[in-house]
C-alpha cells in the first residue's frame, strides 16, 4: 500500500478563505458600528423630505428625526417633528368655523421652518405666544415653510396645500440672497426641469411648470443603482459622499454679461411670482404681505443690492412688507442673532427678535384689514 502525504495546498486555501471571510466580517462589523455612531451621535441629519412634482419636495408626514448641518458639527442639532399634514408645526385643521382664531399662514424656506432651533423658540411660535397674551383677538399661526424653497415652490405649496387652511393672512418670508436667483431654474439647476420652475413668455405672462421626475436631479449625482441604494440607506455613506463632493454640483460657465442677463431674468420672474402669489391669495379672500429677512453682515462679501431690489419691487407692486434690518442691526440683546459657522440662520435670540417683528406685522395687517371691512 502506497501512502501519499498531503501537498498542503487545500490547507493554504482554507486559511486564505478563512482570512477573507474574517476580514469581510470585520470590515462589515466596523462599518456597521460607525454607521450606528453616525446615527446615534449624530453626525448626519435625517432625511425629512420626499420628491413631489408640484412643489419639488415635501416633508414626510408624522416623521421625527435629527437635524444638523454637517459643515458646522456642534453648532446646533435638533430633534424635529413633522405633523400629520407634513408641516413642522402642531396639528392644524383644514376646516374653519366662525369662532376660530385669526389664521396666519407662513410661507418660505429654512428661515421660516426653523429646524436649527427648538420648536418652541422658532419665530412663529414666539409670535404666536406674544399675539395671544392679553390680545383682543386670538391668532393661529401655521408654519408652511420648507427648507430650500424658492418663491416658485412657495407659490406651488400655497396652490396645492396652503389654501386648504383658509387663512386670513398669508406672509411670505423672503430671503433676497438666494430667493431671487433661485427663481431662475437655469441659475438654480442648470436648466434641469426635475424641479418645478417658472418661466415668462415673450408677453411677460408667467407659467408654472411641474417637475419632471424623468429629468436628472441637479442636486444628486447620477451614478449607478448601488450608489443610489447606499445613499438612500446609509447615513455614513451620505456623510462621506457629500463631504467628498461638496461644491461639485453642476457648473455654469457664464460670462459676466451672460450672468447679468440671467440674473435680470431671475428678477423679472421673481417680480411676476410675487404679483401672482398676491393675486391668488387675495382672490381666496385673504390678505398678503412679505417680511424680508435681514442681512447678516458677517457673511462673506455682504451686499445689500438684492435687498434694495426687493424693497423697491414690493413698493412698486403695492405689496405690504416689513424689512427689519435696523431692528436686527440695533439689537441690544448682546447675543448673536445669527449662527457663527452657519452665518445664515438665526439663533434662538434671532428667532425671538423675528418673533417680535412678526407680532407687529401681523397686528398691523389685522388692524388694516379690520379698518377696510368697516
Selection from 209-223, 269-283, 289-303 with the highest mean pLDDT: 269-283
Mean pLDDT score across all residues of the chain:
89
Selection from 15-29, 38-52, 169-183 with the highest mean pLDDT: 169-183
Residue 68 lies in a domain: no
What is the percent of the chain with per-residue pLDDT over 70, rounded to a whole number? 90
Residue 337, pLDDT > 90, answer: yes
**Residue 182's pLDDT is what?**
96
**Residue 62's pLDDT is what?**
98
**Residue 99's pLDDT is what?**
86
- What's the CA angle centered on 166, arms 165 and 167, to 5 degrees? 95
Residue 178 lies in a domain: yes
- Give the single-character DSSP code of 3: -
Residues in the chain: 374
Residue 2 lies in a domain: no
Residue 370, pLDDT > 70, answer: no
**Residue 124's pLDDT is what?**
97
Residue 155 lies in a domain: yes
> What is the mean predicted confidence (pLDDT) over 10-31?
77
Alpha helix stretches (DSSP H) within 99-161: 110-113, 123-132, 151-160
- Per the omega criterion (within 30 degrees of 0), is the bond before 42 cis? yes
What is the percent of the chain with per-residue pLDDT over 90, rounded to a whole number? 64
Kindly report which listed range (70-74, 106-110, 261-265) carries the lowest average pLDDT score: 70-74
CATH number at residue 157: 3.40.50.1110
Selection from 22-31, 110-119, 212-221, 251-260 with the highest mean pLDDT: 110-119
The reply to whether the predicted model has a pTM over 0.85 is yes
The model's pLDDT over 240-275, given as tens digits with 9 standing for 90+, comes to 776 666 544 556 778 889 989 999 999 999 999 999
Residue 136 lies in a domain: yes
Residue 311 lies in a domain: yes
**Residue 2's pLDDT is what?**
53
**Residue 372's pLDDT is what?**
59
- Give the single-character DSSP code of 239: H
Contact 351, 114 (CB under 8 A): yes
Backbone angles phi, psi at 292, to 5 degrees: -90, 125
Q: What are the grid coordinates assigned to 48, written together?
A: 425629512
**Residue 4's pLDDT is what?**
53
Q: What's the domain range around 304? A: 101-220+252-373
Contact 193, 218 (CB under 8 A): no
Closest Cα to residue 168, out of 107, 125, 104, 92?
Answer: 104
Residue 356 lies in a domain: yes
Backbone angles phi, psi at 274, to 5 degrees: -60, -40
Higher pLDDT, 372 or 237: 237
Q: DSSP string covering 323-364, please?
A: --HHHHHT--S-S-SB-TTT-SSB-HHHHHHHHHHHHHHHHH
Q: For the chain, what is the domain count?
A: 1
The H helix count followed by the E strand count for the chain is: 12, 11
Residue 47 lies in a domain: no
Higher pLDDT, 216 or 166: 166
Amino acid at each position: 500500500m502506497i501512502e501519499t502525504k498531503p501537498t498542503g495546498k487545500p490547507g493554504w486555501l482554507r486559511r486564505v478563505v478563512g482570512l477573507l471571510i474574517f476580514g469581510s466580517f470585520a470590515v462589515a462589523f466596523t462599518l456597521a458600528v460607525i454607521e450606528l455612531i453616525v446615527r446615534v451621535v449624530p453626525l448626519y441629519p435625517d432625511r425629512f423630505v420626499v420628491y413631489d412634482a408640484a412643489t419639488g419636495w415635501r416633508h414626510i408626514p408624522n416623521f421625527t428625526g435629527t437635524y444638523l448641518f454637517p459643515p458646522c458639527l456642534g453648532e446646533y442639532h435638533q430633534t424635529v417633528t413633522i405633523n400629520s399634514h407634513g408641516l413642522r408645526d402642531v396639528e392644524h385643521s383644514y376646516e374653519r368655523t366662525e369662532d376660530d382664531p385669526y389664521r396666519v399662514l407662513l410661507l418660505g424656506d429654512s428661515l421660516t421652518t426653523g429646524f436649527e432651533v427648538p420648536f418652541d423658540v422658532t419665530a412663529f411660535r414666539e409670535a404666536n405666544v406674544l399675539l395671544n397674551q392679553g390680545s383682543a383677538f386670538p391668532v393661529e399661526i401655521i408654519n408652511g415653510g420648507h427648507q430650500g424653497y424658492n418663491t416658485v415652490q412657495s407659490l406651488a405649496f400655497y396652490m396645492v396645500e396652503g389654501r386648504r387652511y383658509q387663512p386670513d393672512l398669508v406672509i411670505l418670508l423672503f430671503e433676497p440672497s438666494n430667493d431671487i436667483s433661485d427663481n431662475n431654474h437655469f441659475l438654480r439647476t442648470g436648466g434641469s426641469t426635475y424641479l418645478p420652475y417658472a418661466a415668462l413668455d415673450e408677453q411677460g405672462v408667467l407659467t408654472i411648470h411641474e417637475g419632471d421626475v424623468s429629468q436628472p436631479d441637479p442636486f444628486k449625482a447620477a451614478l449607478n443603482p448601488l450608489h443610489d441604494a447606499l445613499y438612500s440607506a446609509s447615513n455614513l455613506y451620505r456623510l462621506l459622499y457629500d463631504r467628498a463632493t461638496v461644491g461639485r454640483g453642476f457648473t455654469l460657465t457664464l460670462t459676466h454679461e451672460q450672468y447679468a442677463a440671467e440674473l435680470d431674468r431671475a428678477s423679472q420672474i421673481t417680480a411676476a411670482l410675487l404679483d401672482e402669489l398676491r393675486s391668488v391669495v387675495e382672490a381666496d379672500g385673504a390678505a398678503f404681505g412679505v417680511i424680508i429677512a435681514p442681512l447678516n453682515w458677517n457673511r462673506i462679501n455682504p451686499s445689500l443690492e438684492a435687498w434694495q431690489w426687493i424693497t423697491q419691487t414690493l413698493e412698486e407692486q403695492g405689496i405690504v412688507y416689513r424689512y427689519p434690518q435696523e431692528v436686527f442691526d440695533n439689537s441690544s440683546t448682546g447675543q448673536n442673532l445669527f449662527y457663527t459657522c452657519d452665518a445664515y440662520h438665526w439663533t434662538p435670540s434671532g428667532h425671538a427678535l423675528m418673533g417680535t417683528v412678526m407680532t407687529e406685522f401681523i397686528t398691523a395687517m389685522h388692524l388694516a384689514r379690520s379698518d377696510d371691512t368697516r
